[in-house]
Amino acid sequence: MNLHRRAILAFAAFTAIAPAAVAQEGDPIVIGEINHYTRMAAFAEPYRKGIELALDEINSDGGVLGRPLEFVFRDDQGDPAEAVRIAGELMTREGAVMLTGSILSNVGLALSSFAAERGYVYLAAEPLADSLVWTSGNPYTFRLRASTWVQAAMLAERAAETDATRFATIAPNYAYGTDAVEAFKENLTRLKPDVEFVGEQWPALFNIDAGSEVQALERAKPDAIFNVTFGTDLARFVREGGDRGLFDGRDVYSLLSGEPEYLEPLGDEAPEGWTVTGYPWYALEDGDPGKPFVDAYEEFTGETPMIGSLVGYLTAVSIAGAIEKAGSTETEAIREAFEGLTVADTPIGELNYREIDNQSNMGAYIGTLAVEDGQGVMVDWEYKEPGPYMPSDEEITAMRPAE
């Protein structure tokens, strides 16, 4: 029995499924998927393959509400305005019943605002900015991945256990980066009141001047560094910082740097000893809920999974679960179904969407970087649930706009 069928059966065991809306048998249920397939192919292509694996399983098992589930993939090239234009086309011309996608937070925020304005359901698969479901949250936007706040809080917890008191930060200058630095500083200050932040660097996204950034960080003389760069920016920062000795004798806490999309290109230059969030798929063993997914993905694609692969798979499974629960493809039925949605037996265990802020309970893997056989890997890792790292319900309610 495949992963999705087990999830749906487990879900149906404790939730009544409403009768399906009347529709011509065999007509596909169309989902509009918008992403940066050209600009961020290293993440977006594995993400698409994860969706395709889920769709193969879902449709082989009879689809959703007796109809095939279909994703229409469109490339916004990382441009928020283009993403919004495409979203309108998908909903009005392609017959999409809801929207999903985006990696970059600025694009995700634009799609979220558009969805709220037009009354379309939007599942933000990957954007991590906290504002997406908190200060800019709305009833039509749901988010899958663990937020910036949660992952930064996990890293701050590790940082607080050391003797370091002088910290510097480096992050891309847009919503994700600014949210990440704010979250790390707030969490670390709470845990370690004597901490001092001695420098902040804000390189332009995908346009880092790594030499200048490394020099500026070195001048600040920090005990430790919090890094939020990723992709090509991360590779340049690691190489320049390594050449100039920036990381010698300093702890580094780094968001996403253990994700295969960003770790594999570093090869044997992966910075050993960094504390990171990531995805150690290669270390999942029998009995771990993620191992069947890894095996299925490798068989389906002939490739090893990325974090994008997992996110894509969970995106499609979440959407299928919401539509099954709704018993309809009507917008309000899908929106209400996503509130409090539970899908059991997924690669991360039971997947839930919180009613208070439309955020899922997907957690994060945190561990330490090492180099083995010429390749960076995560060691001494653990998967951590997000609950203990969230603000209180009262704080979240106060942050979200009144509905």
Phi, psi of 288 (to 5 degrees): -80, 135
Residue 403: inside a domain, yes or no? no
- Checking if the pLDDT of 75 tops 90, the result is yes
Token representation of residue 127: 């954007």
pLDDT of residue 194: 97
Range of the domain at 199: 149-284+364-397
pLDDT of residue 11: 41
* Residue 8, CA distances (Å) to 30, 58, 131, 143, 352 in order: 19, 10, 31, 20, 13
Least confident of 1-10, 70-79, 152-161, 286-295: 1-10
Residues in Cβ contact with 337 at an 8 Å cutoff, skipping those fewer than 6 apart:
322, 323, 325, 326
Q: How far is Cα of residue 13 from the mean position of the Cα atoms in its chain?
A: 28
Check whether residue 97 and residue 109 sit in a common domain. yes
Check whether residue 141 and residue 153 sit in a common domain. no
Check whether residue 238 and residue 385 sit in a common domain. yes
pLDDT of residue 26: 79
Per-residue DSSP letters for 115-150? HHHHT--EEESS---GGGTTTT--TTEEE-SPPHHH
Confidence of residue 403 (pLDDT cuts 50, 70, 90): confident
pLDDT of residue 347: 98
Q: How far is Cα of residue 155 from the mean position of the Cα atoms in its chain?
A: 16
Q: Confirm if 200 and 167 have CB atoms less than 8 A apart.
A: no
Question: How many of the other CB atoms lie within 10 Å of CB of 107?
Answer: 28
Residue 357: inside a domain, yes or no? no
Check whether residue 266 and residue 299 sit in a common domain. no
pLDDT digits (tens, 9 = 90+) for 27-71: 999 999 999 999 999 999 999 999 999 999 999 999 999 999 999
pLDDT digits (tens, 9 = 90+) for 270-295: 999 999 999 999 999 999 999 999 99
| DSSP H or E run through 98 | strand 98-101
Check whether residue 133 and residue 192 sit in a common domain. no
Q: Please give the average per-residue pLDDT across 89-108, as a whole number.
A: 97
Residue 358: inside a domain, yes or no? no
Helices and strands in the chain: count of H runs, count of E runs: 13, 14
Check whether residue 155 and residue 89 sit in a common domain. no
Check whether residue 45 and residue 128 sit in a common domain. yes
Check whether residue 65 and residue 153 sit in a common domain. no
Separation of alpha carbons 277 and 364, rounded Å = 7
Separation of alpha carbons 379 and 270, rounded Å = 13
Check whether residue 193 and residue 233 sit in a common domain. yes
Token representation of residue 375: 């390749």
**Domain harbouring 380, CATH code:** 3.40.50.2300
Residue 120: inside a domain, yes or no? yes
Check whether residue 76 and residue 199 sit in a common domain. no
Confidence of residue 104 (pLDDT cuts 50, 70, 90): very high
pLDDT digits (tens, 9 = 90+) for 122-150: 999 999 999 999 999 999 999 999 999 99
Q: Please give the average per-residue pLDDT across 98-103, as a whole number.
A: 97
Check whether residue 7 and residue 70 sit in a common domain. yes
Check whether residue 30 and residue 161 sit in a common domain. no
Residue 275: inside a domain, yes or no? yes
pLDDT of residue 2: 56
- State the DSSP code for 305: -
Average pLDDT, the chain: 94
How many domains, the chain?
2
